A and B are shown apart, each in its own frame.
Chain A
């Protein structure tokens, strides 16, 4: 069914205006601002074009570099754990047994909880005085009884635990959808050929669920790069910048310190890191979207 472009534009008008106003213009404006010096605390300095100076500062900023490193470690550790646990949960949910519906509902609970709530919840669990974690620590470990969120070595681990707990469900659901698309006949054929269940897993399940695993990994990677709520609530980037992730660093630069120009350079840097991953994602998922469209 062909329509004139003007009719189509009418259907798409509001959507395009909103996307343009709140996504396309802002990203271009962030790019523009990153070439300026603009500090809200010193309005009399005005908006001065400084070329690549902000980027030069960014590349020599040890805190920004540490933030990038902290974020990449966070992303690598959490996403790999989420996909591993997610696969385990999906394999269990893919079996038929009584109470499967209930288990699936329980698995969805962490997904349904607002991130701010789960962050406060873990902050309370890790609390040094009333935290249930310290209370249940076995006596042998009582020596390390302490405040995990105030310890530069333990705090990153604490936020990773909170992240993995919250988002493994999502990975599990994506992987489960992948598992359910594997035809039963393959397993039947495998049994007839005398494959053990481990061999079936290695030779049938794993290769066929790989696209879903990759998809879950990419989804989670893009999302984990944007981690903010957890850090804001649990640690405020501390102690000693141990959990200062890039999105939190950018937020502090622009909104707390009013360094709009430099903060925009940080934001553009974050954008470029996630763009590289997004392109990878669009190449895998987008190809399938187009296939569906062509049908």
Chain B
């Protein structure tokens, strides 16, 4: 067997295993109810849209999507606004406790959710933020901070110091240097962090499950996990909702795969 052929076969195997299980689920979403329960399963669906219309009209799919979009977009924007000045200060200010601070951010990102879940629930309860978007977004911004600070600090660190010093000579204030010089130069880093924060917020399940018990305000993952089934599971609708939940992410991933790979590497390897 030549090396080329071996490479081709391995690629087919890897690509197939990565794609096929999900493709099967997507195909299921385009089946009529009788096709889903057919034995043996039918490979090619009849491209029946009833699972989608039922997921939208009976299970409120669009509302879940709206909630998820709202939470993920707000989380992304706020996390960047909070993380950018923080990372800048940690990288450039030569703080005696800057290193300890970075270590703290690194350490908290490894906390198991359950270790903080009870008190987080109590705090939100005390602030009357349970079942509110503000409450969920506040928790998500906090959860995203370690990753955001980490990525931004890596990018800020790589910017040439001379430009900032020149801006300082030109009479720019600290804040102007950050907003007019550093942030525009670090735009790729901001963008990379934004994609990863968005994906995380869109996918998060554990805290969404605890904080949002009101079905009107639940996000997609909670909706999909708690899909109600009376006697049988509504697999067509679950597959339709899953497809809708995943498509934006696959689009993002395919469009920005280089950036994502580099962002993960910046967070993990270079870090």
The residues of A with any CB-CB pair to B shorter than 8 Å are 1-3, 5, 7-8, 11-12, 14-16, 18-19, 21-27, 29-30, 33, 88-89, 92, 95, 97, 99, 101-122, 124-125, 127, 129-130, 132, 135, 165, 169-170, 173-174, 176-178, 181, 212, 215, 219, 222, 225-226, 228-229, 232-233, 246-247, 250-251, 254-255, 260, 263-264, 266-268, 270-271, 274-275, 277-278, 281-282, 285-286, 288-290, 292-293, 295
CB-CB under 8 A for A92 and B115, given A11-B86, A117-B224: no
Taking the complex as formed, is B169 at the interface, i.e. its CB lies under 8 A from any CB of chain A?
A: no
The residues of B with any CB-CB pair to A shorter than 8 Å are 4, 7, 10-11, 14-15, 17-19, 21-22, 24-25, 28, 36-41, 81-83, 85-86, 88-95, 99, 101-108, 110-123, 138-139, 141-143, 145, 149, 154, 157, 164-165, 168, 174, 199, 202-203, 205-206, 209-210, 220-222, 224-225, 227, 235, 238-239, 242, 245-246, 249-250, 252-254, 257, 260-261, 264-265, 268-271
Q: Are B271 and A282 in contact (CB under 8 A)?
A: no
State how many angstroms separate the Cβ of A223 from the closest Cβ of chain B: 9
Seed contacts A22-B138, A33-B118, A174-B265; 14 additional CB < 8 Å A-B pairs: A7-B174, A22-B143, A106-B19, A109-B253, A112-B250, A116-B203, A174-B269, A226-B113, A229-B205, A255-B117, A267-B117, A281-B110, A293-B99, A295-B157
Determine which of A97, A127, A263, A289 lies in contact with B102 in the assembled complex, contact meaning CB atoms within 8 Å: A289
CB-CB under 8 A for A21 and B123, given A12-B85, A95-B7, A286-B103: yes
Of A112, A212, A288, most buried by chain B (CB within 10 Å of CB) is: A112
Using CB atoms, name the residue of chain A closest to B124: A22
In the bound complex, residues from chain B placing their C-beta under 8 Å from that of A181 are: 269
State how many angstroms separate the Cβ of B202 from the closest Cβ of chain A: 7
Using CB atoms, name the residue of chain A closest to B164: A1
- A sample of 30 cross-chain residue pairs with beta-carbon separation below 8 angstroms, ordered by A number, consists of A7-B93, A12-B85, A12-B90, A15-B149, A18-B141, A23-B116, A25-B123, A89-B14, A92-B7, A92-B14, A99-B11, A108-B253, A112-B199, A112-B246, A117-B246, A119-B225, A120-B239, A124-B25, A124-B239, A130-B41, A132-B24, A135-B40, A174-B265, A246-B114, A254-B114, A271-B115, A274-B115, A278-B110, A281-B110, A288-B270
In the bound complex, residues from chain B placing their C-beta under 8 Å from that of A113 are: 22, 246, 249-250
In the bound complex, residues from chain A placing their C-beta under 8 Å from that of B210 are: 255
